[in-house]
């Protein structure tokens, strides 16, 4: 491992944190074993493919080799590639699982060599907290997971990370994901054509453009059925339902404390409504240019609507203070009958935890406002193969055999390896019925199919990441094993069961795909990224918006007062170090039209 003479000065304190925390040695075939041993979990895999790989009923694709793909790889000592790899681990470790062993077997066959990998495995939360410390030190392993996305580019610019664009001759499969992603190769590359990390992939073979959250409202289906009500399809119907429920609460015929509750204070109540009013609760692309949703007239109209609901007593006063556990309790003990801000799986969780057997929570797509049309849903999946720039894998510029490391990561994007890591091995973890893959009965009949599949090392479980994260997830596999069915309603099917990701696509349709889910490519320098972050989630502006928007909803500040609104706008804009309007202007200027 070489210490890079980068652009930044790193203190002894930072280096100490790095040594105690995240990563061990780097890019020189194990010369820093002492450092590696100080990491949280360091394990060495020295076995050959014959004594380590799992028994497989699948025949390896004889054509899937680097050589047959036209790659000329350098000769290795003892035909063995030694690497130090640091990865984030989630609820269940992939170490020593059947699929992890099969991953090594197939990777060795593809590369035509033996793999001697020193794995440093660190719990995901700890890993994320220390990533930048390690990058700042310049002492990085051969290969590592990354959750900081485009923030790693500056470490490529200073020579710490490998410029992948110099090794495209060793990529066969990753380019498919680059080309299919919205924005194409521009999305995966920097403005000068450089690439400093492989981006996280996603495979959506059936083009399901569903989402995971903020796409539907949850209703007490049992109460709706008892009273002859239906889930509303318009905002006017929603207002009427709230009014009817409140009347019955007031006369004692409806056993609820409030009409509406929030799932958790971690997500402001208004986040469930922004898509209805065709705005957003943060920085977003509106289809024409970059905008800051909380300052738009649409956002103000939404706050006026929520203030009206609050003034009529429909909303639980603790909507902004109750945490997730308290929200769970409220949902299962008759505190509220509607929850507009929640994730996939929340309803299933409430129905499992209910104390009243008659209680049934269910979902219906967002109600539509006549002035705005089909509500926008957040997080719509892209069709086919796509990339996510928030996570990925980087390679050290000091790695001894960059040709091998690039070819190795690239192979994880092949259809064969994506199938292995998500579905496993035919006859053991899945079977084929006609043209459809189905997980084994052992997995699907388990009390927790996701947990059971993770025992094999299947990354579709969503609780285990096999190989070197982050590599493509197969949407169909994930839906089968990790997505729970929940009660749904729509005009056509009435009451039925469905999976959130699928039903949010079916019920929302093409028009529900929000423009902020398909933004154009925007090239930003490290300094410009920092400026943008002030307007993004977790930035100074959003933190202030949460506080002030709450005051508008509860009437502490008058949302109908123009002077109060102007003061609010000025206050939010004052939270940035740079000129607020100039940040938006910069984003538009840096956007590839």
SS (H, E, C) 142-179: CEEEECCHHHHHHHHHCCCECCHHHHHHHCCCHHHHHH
Q: Please, what's the b/e burial string for 301-335 (b: 16 or more CB within 10 A of its CB; e: otherwise)?
A: bbbebbbebbeeebbbebbbebeeebbbebbbebb
Query: What is the third-level CATH fold of 12-207+388-420?
Result: D-Maltodextrin-Binding Protein; domain 2 (3.40.190)
Query: Given the structure tokens 């000592």, which residue do they identify?
Result: 77
Alpha-carbon span 593 to 286, nearest angstrom: 14
> How high is the mean pLDDT of the chain?
88
In this structure, what token pair is assigned to residue 361? 């929570």
In this structure, what token pair is assigned to residue 28? 């020189």
With cut-offs at 50, 70 and 90, classify the pLDDT of residue 562. Answer: very high
For 77-120, what is each residue's pLDDT tens digit? 999 999 999 999 999 999 999 999 999 999 999 999 999 999 99
Strand-pairing partners, residue 343, are 213
For 277-320, what is each residue's pLDDT tens digit? 999 999 999 999 999 999 999 999 999 999 999 999 999 999 99
CA dihedral sign, ordered 117, 123, 124, 126: negative
Average confidence (pLDDT) over 130-148 = 92
In this structure, what token pair is assigned to residue 304? 């006026």
Q: For residue 53, give the nearest of 92, 109, 118 by alpha carbon.
A: 109
Alpha-carbon span 224 to 245, nearest angstrom: 9
Element (H, E) at 429: none
Alpha-carbon span 412 to 419, nearest angstrom: 10
For residue 149, the model assigns a pLDDT of: 85
Domain limits of the chain? 12-207+388-420, 216-378+487-589
CB contact at 8 A, 502 and 536: no
Alpha-carbon span 480 to 485, nearest angstrom: 10
For residue 565, the model assigns a pLDDT of: 98
For residue 327, the model assigns a pLDDT of: 94
Average confidence (pLDDT) over 161-176 = 97
Q: Does residue 180 register a pLDDT over 90? A: yes
Instruction: Return the C-alpha torsion angle 517, 521, 527, 532, nearest 10.
Output: -30
Average confidence (pLDDT) over 153-160 = 91
Alpha-carbon span 156 to 166, nearest angstrom: 12
Count of C-beta atoms within a 10 Å radius of residue 243: 13
For 337-386, what is each residue's pLDDT tens digit? 999 999 988 999 999 998 888 999 999 999 999 999 999 999 899 999 99
- Reply yes or no: is the peptide bond before residue 231 cis, omega within 30 of 0: no
For residue 32, the model assigns a pLDDT of: 35
CATH class of 216-378+487-589: alpha beta
Average confidence (pLDDT) over 141-158 = 91
Count of C-beta atoms within a 10 Å radius of residue 5: 8
Alpha-carbon span 465 to 52, nearest angstrom: 19
Evaluate whether 12-207+388-420 and 216-378+487-589 have a shared fold. yes
CB contact set of 375 (below 8 Å; sequence gap of 6+): 275, 276, 278, 365, 366, 367, 368, 369, 508, 512
With cut-offs at 50, 70 and 90, classify the pLDDT of residue 151. Answer: confident
488 phi, psi to nearest 5 deg: -130, 165
In this structure, what token pair is assigned to residue 138? 């310049």
| Pairing state between β 494-499 and 485-490 | antiparallel
Strand-pairing partners, residue 388, are 200
For residue 484, the model assigns a pLDDT of: 85
Of 15-29, 121-135, 214-228, 421-435, minimum mean pLDDT range: 15-29
CB contact set of 417 (below 8 Å; sequence gap of 6+): 103, 106, 411, 467, 471
For residue 63, the model assigns a pLDDT of: 61
Alpha-carbon span 274 to 379, nearest angstrom: 13
Residues in the chain: 593
Alpha-carbon span 551 to 556, nearest angstrom: 5
CB contact set of 122 (below 8 Å; sequence gap of 6+): 21, 22, 39, 40, 41, 86, 87, 88, 89, 130
Count of C-beta atoms within a 10 Å radius of residue 116: 18
Element (H, E) at 459: none
Alpha-carbon span 419 to 357, nearest angstrom: 40
CB contact set of 98 (below 8 Å; sequence gap of 6+): 54, 424, 425, 428, 429, 456, 457
123 three-state secondary structure: strand
For residue 61, the model assigns a pLDDT of: 52
For 393-434, what is each residue's pLDDT tens digit? 999 999 999 999 999 999 999 999 999 999 999 999 999 988
For residue 592, the model assigns a pLDDT of: 87
Single pTM value for the model: 0.81
∠ at Cα 413 (410, 417), nearest 5°?
110
Q: For residue 163, give the nearest of 175, 153, 178 by alpha carbon.
A: 153
With cut-offs at 50, 70 and 90, classify the pLDDT of residue 30. Answer: very low
In this structure, what token pair is assigned to residue 216? 């539907």
- Reply yes or no: is the peptide bond before residue 470 cis, omega within 30 of 0: yes
Rg (CA), the chain: 26
Q: Does residue 39 register a pLDDT over 90? A: no
Q: Does residue 145 register a pLDDT over 60? A: yes
Q: Does residue 35 register a pLDDT over 90? A: no
| pLDDT, greater one: 52 or 590 | 590
């Amino acid at each position: 491992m070489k210490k890079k003479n980068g652009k930044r000065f790193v203190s002894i304190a930072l280096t100490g944190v790095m040594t105690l925390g995240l990563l061990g040695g780097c890019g020189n075939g194990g010369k820093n074993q002492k450092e590696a041993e100080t990491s949280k979990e360091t394990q060495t895999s020295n076995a050959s493919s014959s004594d380590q790989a799992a028994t497989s009923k699948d025949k390896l694709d004889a054509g899937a080799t680097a050589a047959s793909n036209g790659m000329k790889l350098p000769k290795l000592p003892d035909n063995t590639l030694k690497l130090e790899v640091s990865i984030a681990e989630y609820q269940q470790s992939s170490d020593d699982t059947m699929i992890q062993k099969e991953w090594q077997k197939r990777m060795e066959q593809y590369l035509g060599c033996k793999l001697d990998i020193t794995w440093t495995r660190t719990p995901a939360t700890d890993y994320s907290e220390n990533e930048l410390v390690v990058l700042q030190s310049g002492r990085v392993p051969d290969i590592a997971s990354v959750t900081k996305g485009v923030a790693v580019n500056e470490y490529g610019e200073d020579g710490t990370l490998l410029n992948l664009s110099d090794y495209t001759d060793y990529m066969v499969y990753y380019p498919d994901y680059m080309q299919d992603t919205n924005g194409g190769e521009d999305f995966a590359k920097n403005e000068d054509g450089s690439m400093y990390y492989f981006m996280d992939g996603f495979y959506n073979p059936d083009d399901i453009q569903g989402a995971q959250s903020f796409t539907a409202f949850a209703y007490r289906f049992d109460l709706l059925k008892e009273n002859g009500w239906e889930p509303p399809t318009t905002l006017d119907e929603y207002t009427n339902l709230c009014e009817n429920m409140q009347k019955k609460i007031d006369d004692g015929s409806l056993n609820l404390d409030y009409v509406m509750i929030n799932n958790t204070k971690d997500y402001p109540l208004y986040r469930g409504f922004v898509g209805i009013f065709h705005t957003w609760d943060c920085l977003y692309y509106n289809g024409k240019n970059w905008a800051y949703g909380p300052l738009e007239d649409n956002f103000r109209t939404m706050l006026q609507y929520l203030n009206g609901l609050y003034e009529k007593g429909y909303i639980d006063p603790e909507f902004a203070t109750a945490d997730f556990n308290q929200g769970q309790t409220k949902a299962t003990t008759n505190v509220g009958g509607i929850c507009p801000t929640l994730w996939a799986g929340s309803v299933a969780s409430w129905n499992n935890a209910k104390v009243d057997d008659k209680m049934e929570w269910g979902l219906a797509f967002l109600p539509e406002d006549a002035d705005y049309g089909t509500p926008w849903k957040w997080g719509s999946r892209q069709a086919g193969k796509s990339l996510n720039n928030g996570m990925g894998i980087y390679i050290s510029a000091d790695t001894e055999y960059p040709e091998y490391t690039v070819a190795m990561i690239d192979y994880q994007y092949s259809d064969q390896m994506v199938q292995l890591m998500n579905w496993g091995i035919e006859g053991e973890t899945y079977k084929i019925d006609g043209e459809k893959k189905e997980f084994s009965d052992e997995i699907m009949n388990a009390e927790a199919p996701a947990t059971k599949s993770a025992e094999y090392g299947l990354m579709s479980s969503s609780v285990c990441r096999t190989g070197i994260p982050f590599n493509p997830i197969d949407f169909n596999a994930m839906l089968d094993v990790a997505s729970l069915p929940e009660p749904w309603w729509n005009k056509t099917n009435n009451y039925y069961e469905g999976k959130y990701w699928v039903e949010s696509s079916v019920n929302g349709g093409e028009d529900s795909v929000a423009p902020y889910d398909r933004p154009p490519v925007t090239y930003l320098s490290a300094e410009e990224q920092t400026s943008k972050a002030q307007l993004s989630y977790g930035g100074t502006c959003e933190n202030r918006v949460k506080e002030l928007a709450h005051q508008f909803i509860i009437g502490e500040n008058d949302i109908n007062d123009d002077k109060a609104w102007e003061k609010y706008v000025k206050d939010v804009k004052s939270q940035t170090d740079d000129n607020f309007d100039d940040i938006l202007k910069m984003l538009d200027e840096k956007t590839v039209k």
